[in-house]
Chain A
Amino acid sequence: MNYQTTSFLLSWIVFIPVIGVVAIMCGIALCYPFKLDKKRFDNITRTICLISTSAVFILSLILWKFFDPQSLSIQFIHRFVWIKSFNIEYFLGLDGINISMVILTAFITLIAAIASVPWWGEHNENHFTSKMTPGYMVLLLFLETGMMGTFCSLDFFQFYIFWEIMLLPMFFLIGIWGGPRKEYAAIKFFLYTLVGSLLILLAMIAIYYTSTPVTLADGTLADHTFNIVFLSQMAKQGTFIHASPIFAIAFTKLVWICLFVGFAIKIPIFPFHTWLPDAHVEAPTPVSVILAGILLKTGAYGILRFNFGLFPEATSFFASGMAIFGMINIVYASYVCMAQTDLKKLIAYSSVSHMGFVLLGFAALTPQGISGAMFQMVSHGLISPMLFLIAGVIYDRAHTRDIYAFGGLASKLPEYTGLMGLAFMASMGLPGLAGFVGEILVLLGAFPVFRVFTIISATAMIITAAYYLWTIQRMFLGEFNIKWDGLKDLNARERIVLYPLGFVTILFGVYPMPVFNLVNKALHTLISTISPFAG
């Protein structure tokens, strides 16, 4: 197969945010000699950020248009040798596994960028949207580059670099623009993810030294490689299965576990999930949106790309274990949700619960399970941003997120209540909305393989309904709490971000095939390489 550069589109998508960053930096440099007004310069940086993210989004739609889902080969390749001495290549490409995530990332980052613009009409100096705006925008754009690069990289080393690039902006975004306990949350997030990164790094080095010679992009022969496409070909030929054990543990199994734990922290999977509620509660709304909408998916994507792609035999071996952890995530987190009184914390735990479905779907290794899991990633990537935006709306106004502090808001904020109802219903998996499709397919696909686990997981549907409806009842129904008489309903900016998300949620709920058309073939081929090892 020939993997030569066919398009620079992906490089543009990955690095357009960096161009935005450079523009903002130049602006900062010009700011001092020309004594630009701070407020005006803030607006300029916001505009630059919006333009960059919009450009990325438009390019991602072009990708969607020209992507051929029937072809199993990598598309939109941009490849050259990057660091010759270590055989590291620069290799961007799309296939059915990452295309949906790339489009989702572009969309959600745009939403987050819009949500970072301050409340039009009212200007609050203490609000995160007005605090050190240029720095915030720079970090947001860097974050987008990190995420895009993570999804598009087909070279393990390059993937790892982007994986780490994601980490730093997130750390500062939480640590500087966050809530009262932002330092604790940011450091917890950073250290936790760093542990995961370390495991991935070790696994990467182990894989590198096990790989067999390949031809690099410039035609030279290399002893080892980080190229994921070549690595997965080696996996099919059994290179890794026959590798000598480490510490008397089979090579594939040890490396699989390292990778899995590294990615599991990001998803997050019980018991590595406790950084998530803290990070979410302290993070400003748009950062929560990105964190829940995309960052969690990088972990799941990593499992698909590396654990599934490189170690089919170990994946098959550990499938039941994955299913158990998926089930624990689903059920355990849904009960924990019920106990929360902080709206954002509740939503954060619901993310943990919903990502459990992704893991369960992966573990099933059936077409319905894996397609459902991928769809769950997309639908969760649409619904959880909506939920966090909704939590942000009320926090901006009331400066509290305590569920018990409210009551009867429905009569005061009808539009907000309606959208919140839509988001909650979508998240609890109401048929006809996007959340349902993923969940039902995961369960349908998992049932033939893990009957008891699936039935136990399905009962979480009841608990999920219970905590959402209970929340609606406590916040929006009943007698109106007169304390909140001054609250206003949605403003234009909030409408701009919430309505598109709501619309897509409904659209994919009744017509999910556009997503499946993109991913089905690649995913089913992926699991068909694993199924020979089953039983």
Chain B
Amino acid sequence: MANGSYYNSFYLIFIPLLPLLGAMINGFFGAVIQTKLDKFYIHFVAIATVVTSFVLSLAGFIKLAADDSVLAIYTNAWTFLSIGSLKVDVAFILDPLSAVMCLVITFVGSLIHIYSTGYMKDDEGYWRFFAYLNLFMFSMLVLVLADNFLVMFIGWEGVGLCSYLLIGFWYKDVNNAKAGVKAFIVNRIGDVGFVIGIFILFWTLASISSGSGAVYTPGSAIHAPNSYASLVFADIEKTLQDVSIRQVFVAKTLFNIPAVTLICIALFIGAMGKSAQIPLYVWLPDAMAGPTPVSALIHAATMVTAGVYMVARLHFLFALSPFAMTWVALFGAVTALFAATIGFFQYDIKKVLAYSTISQLGFMFIGVGVGAYSAGIFHLVTHAFFKACLFLCAGSVIIGCHHEQDMRKMGGLSLYMPKTNLAYLIACIAISGFPFFSGFFSKDDILYRAFINQNMVYPGMGILIWGIGMAAALCTAYYIFRSYFMTFTGVFRGDPANLPKESPKSITHVLLLLAFFSAIVGFSDMPEIFYMPNLFHHFLEPVFESSRGLLHFSRGSHALEWLLTGLSVMLAFLGAYAAFYLYKDAESRLPTRLLSFESKPVRWVYRLIYNKYYIDELYHITMVKLVMAIRLIFNWIDQHIIDALVNFAGFAGKLVGTVAGTADSKGVDGMVNATANTVFTAGANLIKIQTGRLRHYLGVALAGGVILVIVNYIFFN
């Protein structure tokens, strides 16, 4: 960490806490408020809390920007866990990175809350919607403000929960519910990776401090007072600043693989789940089942970028593992291209945007993967604006077209919805990277840095990634303008009796505001070639200070930068032109003709892309089937082997009991009874001699006496 100090401010805790308060009010009393009072109070609470959070974030941001001596604003609420060497507080830290994230989240969040008042106007679950949305804001803010892994994980899974709740918001359709479940479970797969990353990290740090190599003696952690084991970001960063510790850390291995690589890969699996990267992206397209403001806020602007944020936050770890960095960048690049191609043939306007989001997230991962952290985060910011704008426009279009999402039934909407048209067009220009719009600055910065970076383990990898990124940029311009031309130009193809109409002001004003920001926000980080200050990069610099020495970029020249920029602008225009040529009006038969190509390979490629490369089906026949089979096998074992053994033991016990019982009644008891019988019979017989006559008794006694004498004589003489 650079010089400077933490500024303690208790107010920081209100940034996440206020939305939580809103969520609680609406969650517990919303139903009553909605029926007894008015919907106004519901969205008033929801919006007021989020806007206040925004104001607080802005105040924090200004403090950080204005006062160079303040490194970060910090507050420690209470001790979360303190066990042995593990000490974790519920503590929040607002450093430049989290300040940028907070601003984006609360600003875009506020706008989307306002938009939702129009969009969800007639929904009976109005209170529920705003309660969930506020809960999401809380979780997301906890995620970015957390100063340690565990609190971050609270936010990390919290946003997943809210995503689940909001995707399945219209739960009466079971398909929406299923989409929510899918999102949660795929995210959980990533989360398991994330926690395993935490485990390995904690183990590695603890084993450094016990100083006994890879052997960890149980219980040693309590005896190690100055342990390095920690889950607090700043502590770990500080520990790894020490060169000698860093060397030991990097040299640690686990399963014969460098531990730091395993940590980074495991954490990246978490990022893959949350940020919908290959191979865990499958949940995001299905997540479009949720209301459109949710798609804009959660599945475009904020939650899905959590993975990117996490990698940037842990730059000091990723920078230590070139291998992990290479794969982060490569996964990002491949995802960017792969998802962009799926966007070619989608007809659902929200699905196009969903794949576009996956693709753009890929760009961000290229940025953070090659070590250009501030470039990746900058793209995150610009993307938040233009993608939120696109999604909200799509929502406006869907409402305008009476809940129609198929672009084949739209067309010519610029006539009916001029403001939406304008906003969508600006956002399209921004995402395609037309000069001087925000996407242009952020994307080119990423691609340029990918080109010149030297942090990859394989030679030429940077240029390969740059090449894939350029191809993806071309595809982006094509599919996004395809969606624009299909929706807004040509003639309306829907029901002529039910013409679309422009949305209310609460919606259009938000759209235009977001479009405005999509256009201008790029100027905050202009590349050097324009001889302008890159404020954004400068602002974030202290955060990434500690890993700067570990990262290497070749000295690019302005000529090179100009060349690459020119190339990418050309590609953007090319893609847009292709879309224009093919889809500019409904009359153009070319796309249909192309699709009706009979040639086998073409059909094959088309079908492959149209069906999203059959990845969902592949998962279904492998993973899902496997789990479903295992559960039945285990259940069978449980019932037919383990429980059967228990029952058999019971049966055997019973059997032994029966045998013993029989033996008892027939054998042992038989003997007893026989004895009794003998005695009884004997008694009965003996009765006869009890005659009551003295003569008989005397006779018997005499006979007895005689017998005794005789017996005595025989045996004892």
A residues neighboring B (CB under 8 Å): 187-188, 191-192, 270-271, 273-275, 332, 335-340, 364-368, 371-372, 408, 410-411, 414, 425, 430-432, 436-437, 440-441, 443-444, 447-449, 451, 454-455, 458-459, 461-463, 465-466, 469-470, 472-473, 476-480, 510-513, 516, 520, 524, 527-528, 530-531, 534-535
Q: Give the nearest-CB partner of A447 in chain B.
A: B199
Do residues B202 and A365 form an inter-chain contact, with CB atoms below 8 A?
no
For B630, what are the chain A residues with a Cβ–Cβ distance below 8 Å?
Answer: 335
Do residues B631 and A338 form an inter-chain contact, with CB atoms below 8 A?
yes
Does B31 sit within 8 A of A, measured CB to CB?
Answer: yes
For A410, what are the chain B residues with a Cβ–Cβ distance below 8 Å?
Answer: 171
Do residues A366 and B218 form an inter-chain contact, with CB atoms below 8 A?
yes
For B200, what are the chain A residues with a Cβ–Cβ distance below 8 Å?
Answer: 447
Provide a sorted-by-A list of 8 A–B residue pairs whose CB atoms are within 8 angstroms.
A188-B650, A368-B84, A431-B150, A465-B185, A473-B177, A477-B172, A513-B79, A513-B82
Q: How far apart are the CA atoms of A174 and B168 in the complex, in Å? A: 39
Does B509 sit within 8 A of A, measured CB to CB?
Answer: no
Does B174 sit within 8 A of A, measured CB to CB?
Answer: yes
Q: Give the nearest-CB partner of B181 in chain A.
A: A469
Q: Give the nearest-CB partner of B643 in chain A.
A: A274
For B646, what are the chain A residues with a Cβ–Cβ distance below 8 Å?
Answer: 188, 192, 274-275
For B78, what are the chain A residues with a Cβ–Cβ distance below 8 Å?
Answer: 511, 513
Do residues A534 and B638 form an inter-chain contact, with CB atoms below 8 A?
no
Do residues B185 and A462 form an inter-chain contact, with CB atoms below 8 A?
yes
Do residues B631 and A191 form an inter-chain contact, with CB atoms below 8 A?
no
For A476, what are the chain B residues with a Cβ–Cβ distance below 8 Å?
Answer: 171
Task: Find the residue from B80, B255, B632, B634 having the highest chain A CB count within 10 A.
Answer: B634
Q: How far apart are the CA atoms of A469 and B216 in the complex, in Å? A: 38
Binds A, one of B6-14, B190-198, B500-508, B685-693: B190-198
Do residues B218 and A449 form an inter-chain contact, with CB atoms below 8 A?
yes
Do residues B177 and A461 form an inter-chain contact, with CB atoms below 8 A?
no
Binds A, one of B156-164, B462-470, B532-540: B156-164
How large, as a class, is the contact surface on chain B? 35 or more
Do residues A425 and B172 form an inter-chain contact, with CB atoms below 8 A?
no
Do residues B219 and A365 form an inter-chain contact, with CB atoms below 8 A?
yes
CB-CB under 8 A for A448 and B203, given A462-B192, A478-B177: yes
Q: How far apart are the CA atoms of A476 and B218 in the complex, in Å? A: 45
Q: How far apart are the CA atoms of A437 and B158 in the complex, in Å? A: 14
Do residues B185 and A368 form an inter-chain contact, with CB atoms below 8 A?
no
Q: Give the nearest-CB partner of B204 in chain A.
A: A448
Q: How far apart are the CA atoms of A522 and B219 in the complex, in Å? A: 14
Does B154 sit within 8 A of A, measured CB to CB?
Answer: yes
Do residues B172 and A408 form an inter-chain contact, with CB atoms below 8 A?
yes
Q: Give the nearest-CB partner of A429 in chain B.
A: B157
Which of B173, B219, B653 has a CB less than 8 Å from the CB of A366? B219
Do residues A477 and B218 form an inter-chain contact, with CB atoms below 8 A?
no
Which of A414, A430, A469, A528 has a CB less than 8 Å from the CB of B219? A528
CB distance from B86 to the nearest CB of A (A): 6
Do residues A528 and B222 form an inter-chain contact, with CB atoms below 8 A?
yes
For A478, what are the chain B residues with a Cβ–Cβ distance below 8 Å?
Answer: 171-174, 177
CB distance from B23 to the nearest CB of A (A): 13
CB-CB under 8 A for A479 and B650, given A336-B634, A367-B221: no
Does B188 sit within 8 A of A, measured CB to CB?
Answer: yes
Does B694 sit within 8 A of A, measured CB to CB?
Answer: no
Which of B79, B156, B180, B199 has a CB less than 8 Å from the CB of A443? B199
Which of B90, B188, B206, B221 has a CB less than 8 Å from the CB of A461? B188
Do residues B82 and A516 form an inter-chain contact, with CB atoms below 8 A?
yes
Do residues B82 and A534 form an inter-chain contact, with CB atoms below 8 A?
no
CB distance from B126 to the nearest CB of A (A): 14
Q: Give the nearest-CB partner of A446 in chain B.
A: B199
Q: How far apart are the CA atoms of A511 and B78 in the complex, in Å? A: 8
Can you list the 5 inter-chain pairs with the closest CB atoms, starting with the nearest? A367-B84, A478-B174, A531-B219, A339-B635, A477-B177
Q: Give the nearest-CB partner of A535 in chain B.
A: B217
Does B672 sit within 8 A of A, measured CB to CB?
Answer: no
Task: Find the residue from B157, B206, B220, B653 having the highest chain A CB count within 10 A.
Answer: B157
Do residues A458 and B195 form an inter-chain contact, with CB atoms below 8 A?
yes
Does B682 sit within 8 A of A, measured CB to CB?
Answer: no
Q: How far apart are the CA atoms of A336 and B206 in the complex, in Å? A: 36
Does B642 sit within 8 A of A, measured CB to CB?
Answer: yes
Do residues A431 and B156 form an inter-chain contact, with CB atoms below 8 A?
yes
Does B178 sit within 8 A of A, measured CB to CB?
Answer: yes
For A535, what are the chain B residues with a Cβ–Cβ distance below 8 Å?
Answer: 215, 217
Question: Which residues of B from 197 to 236 have beta carbons under 8 Å from A?
Answer: 198-200, 202-203, 206-207, 215-222
Does B621 sit within 8 A of A, measured CB to CB?
Answer: no
Do residues B192 and A461 form an inter-chain contact, with CB atoms below 8 A?
yes
Do residues A274 and B221 form an inter-chain contact, with CB atoms below 8 A?
no
Question: Which residues of B from 81 to 112 have beta carbons under 8 Å from A?
Answer: 81-86, 90
Which of A339, A366, A470 has a CB less than 8 Å from the CB of B84? A366
Does B627 sit within 8 A of A, measured CB to CB?
Answer: yes
Q: How far apart are the CA atoms of A476 and B172 in the complex, in Å? A: 9
For A441, what are the chain B residues with a Cβ–Cβ distance below 8 Å?
Answer: 81, 83, 86
Question: Beyond the given A431-B157, A441-B83, A458-B195, could you list 4 further A-B residue pairs with CB under 8 A, ordered by the A residue number?
Answer: A367-B84, A372-B83, A451-B255, A469-B185
Which of B195, B221, B645 has a CB less than 8 Å from the CB of A440? B195
Do residues A335 and B195 form an inter-chain contact, with CB atoms below 8 A?
no
Q: Give the nearest-CB partner of A512 in chain B.
A: B81
CB-CB under 8 A for A524 and B150, given A430-B161, A443-B199, A531-B219: no
CB-CB under 8 A for A462 and B188, given A365-B218, A430-B161, A516-B83: yes
Task: Find the residue from A364, A368, A443 having the highest chain B CB count within 10 A.
Answer: A368
For B195, what are the chain A residues with a Cβ–Cβ distance below 8 Å?
Answer: 440, 443, 458, 461
Do residues B84 and A469 form an inter-chain contact, with CB atoms below 8 A?
no
CB distance from A146 to the nearest CB of B (A): 24
Task: Find the residue from A340, A372, A473 having the highest chain B CB count within 10 A.
Answer: A473
Do residues B643 and A534 form an inter-chain contact, with CB atoms below 8 A?
no
For B168, what are the chain A residues with a Cβ–Cβ distance below 8 Å?
Answer: 477
Q: How far apart are the CA atoms of A454 and B254 in the complex, in Å? A: 14
Do residues B81 and A431 form an inter-chain contact, with CB atoms below 8 A?
no
For B642, what are the chain A residues with a Cβ–Cβ distance below 8 Å?
Answer: 270-271, 273-274
Do residues A510 and B650 form an inter-chain contact, with CB atoms below 8 A?
no
Which of A338, A431, A449, A473 has a CB less than 8 Å from the CB of B216? A449
CB distance from A338 to the nearest CB of B (A): 4
Which of B90, B192, B631, B638 has a CB less than 8 Å from the CB of A459? B192
Q: How far apart are the CA atoms of A510 and B219 in the complex, in Å? A: 26
Do residues A454 and B199 form an inter-chain contact, with CB atoms below 8 A?
yes
Q: How far apart are the CA atoms of A115 and B468 in the complex, in Å? A: 63
Q: How far apart are the CA atoms of A34 and B92 in the complex, in Å? A: 68
Does B184 sit within 8 A of A, measured CB to CB?
Answer: yes
Does B153 sit within 8 A of A, measured CB to CB?
Answer: yes
Do residues B161 and A531 form an inter-chain contact, with CB atoms below 8 A?
no
Do residues A366 and B221 form an inter-chain contact, with CB atoms below 8 A?
yes
Do residues B174 and A479 form an inter-chain contact, with CB atoms below 8 A?
yes
Does B189 sit within 8 A of A, measured CB to CB?
Answer: yes
Q: How far apart are the CA atoms of A432 and B174 in the complex, in Å? A: 28
For A444, what are the chain B residues with a Cβ–Cβ distance below 8 Å?
Answer: 86, 198-199, 202
CB distance from B12 to the nearest CB of A (A): 17
Q: How far apart are the CA atoms of A111 and B192 in the complex, in Å? A: 34
CB distance from B252 to the nearest CB of A (A): 12
Which of A336, A372, A516 has a CB less than 8 Å from the CB of B638? A336
Q: How far apart are the CA atoms of A336 and B637 in the complex, in Å? A: 9
Do residues B158 and A431 form an inter-chain contact, with CB atoms below 8 A?
yes
Do residues A336 and B217 form an inter-chain contact, with CB atoms below 8 A?
no
Q: How far apart are the CA atoms of A188 and B643 in the complex, in Å? A: 11
Q: How far apart are the CA atoms of A455 and B198 in the complex, in Å? A: 12
Q: How far apart are the CA atoms of A513 and B184 in the complex, in Å? A: 29
For B191, what are the chain A residues with a Cβ–Cβ distance below 8 Å?
Answer: 461
Which of A337, A454, A469, A477 has a CB less than 8 Å from the CB of B174? A477
Which of B158, B178, B189 has a CB less than 8 Å from the CB of A432? B158
CB distance from A400 to the nearest CB of B (A): 20
Q: How far apart are the CA atoms of A187 and B654 in the complex, in Å? A: 12
CB distance from B81 to the nearest CB of A (A): 7
Q: How far apart are the CA atoms of A512 and B150 in the complex, in Å? A: 13
Which of B184, B202, B254 has a CB less than 8 Å from the CB of A469? B184
